[in-house]
Amino acid sequence: MSAPQYLDLPIDYESLTKVGSMMGSGGMIVMDEKTCMVDIARFFLSFTQDESCGKCTPCRLGTQRMLETLTRITQGQGREGDIELLLEMGKGIKDASLCGLGQTCPNPVLSTIAHFRSEYEAHIGGNIVRPEPAKPWSSPPAKTPARFAATLSAMPRSSRRAVMKRLCPSSA
Ligand code: SF4
């Protein structure tokens, strides 16, 4: 969800579906205006990409290419045409993947482009250059992506899936 027009949106199945979101398991992540949505998209795609079983090419390779592109953008090396490339790859992966993971894993990228395109443009235009991707959560420190990723990596695969499903229903 983004933007002022959604602030009063009822949190129920029909309302969320109407604006292209989903209820999932009912979890909700609240971020402030300092959160970089490009970093957030990269963060979620990195987990779902890691979960790809590799059976079908669009999911296996497409998510890798999307992740590489997002990483370049967040490191200040974005190029003209990267947004269009991400849109094309995301739609292709959704259309051509066999299971729900591939069909939904581009969603964080597609929805952040749809609702926060100016943030992508600012990165690519050189107005935001960071030596390394910013932390999606500034506090508490224990929830920074690096620590969070380390915690998740140490979990058994089944537990990791359960955590990601709660955080990002589209990854289920
Ligand atoms: S879409 Fe599903 S079946 Fe295909 S590679 Fe991704 S996880 Fe595997």
In a domain, 24, yes or no: no
**Ligand 1 atom at minimal distance to the Cα of residue 60:** 5
Is the residue at 2 inside a domain? Answer: no
pLDDT at res. 123: 94
Indicate if ligand 1 lies below 6 Å from the C-beta of 104. no
* Total domains, the chain: 1
Q: What distances in angstroms separate CA 25 from CA 2, 121, 159, 164, 170, one per listed residue?
A: 20, 32, 15, 11, 10
Give domain status of residue 5, yes or no.
Answer: no
Cis peptide before 140 (omega within 30 of 0): yes
Residue pair 30/146 in contact (Cβ under 8 Å)? The answer is no
Domain extent for 105 = 37-130+137-171
Residue 100 lies in a domain: yes
Residue 159's pLDDT is: 64
Note whether residue 90 is domain-resident.
yes
Q: According to the model, what pLDDT value does residue 103 have?
A: 94
**What does the alpha-carbon distance between residue 152 and residue 157 come to, in Å, rounded to a whole number?**
9
Which residue CA neighbors atom 8 of ligand 1 most closely? 53
Per-residue pLDDT of the chain (172 residues; tens, 9 = 90+): 456 788 898 988 899 888 878 777 778 888 888 899 999 999 999 999 999 999 999 999 999 999 999 999 999 999 999 999 999 999 999 999 999 999 999 999 999 999 999 999 999 988 665 545 555 444 443 344 555 566 656 666 666 666 555 554 444 4
Does residue 22 form part of some domain? Answer: no
The residue whose C-alpha atom lies closest to atom 1 belonging to ligand 1 is: 102
Q: What is the pLDDT at residue 26?
A: 73
Token pair in block for residue 34: 């300092």
Inside any domain, residue 6: no
The CATH number assigned to the domain holding 141 equals: 1.20.1440.230
pLDDT, tens digit, 9 for 90 and up, residues 95-129: 999 999 999 999 999 999 999 999 999 999 886 65
Could you write out the DSSP letters of every residue in the chain? --TGGGTT---SHHHHHHTT---TTS------TTS-HHHHHHHHHHHHHHH--S-SHHHHHHHHHHHHHHHHHHTT---TTHHHHHHHHHHHHHHH-SSHHHHHTTHHHHHHHHHHHHHHHHHHTTSS--SSPPPS--SSGGGSHHHHHHHHHHS-HHHHHHHHHHH-GGG-
Nearest CA to ligand 1 atom 2: 99
106 lines ligand 1 (CB under 6 A): no
Give the other-Cβ count within 10 Å of 95's Cβ. Answer: 10
Does 4 fall in a domain? Answer: no
> What is the model's pLDDT at position 41?
96
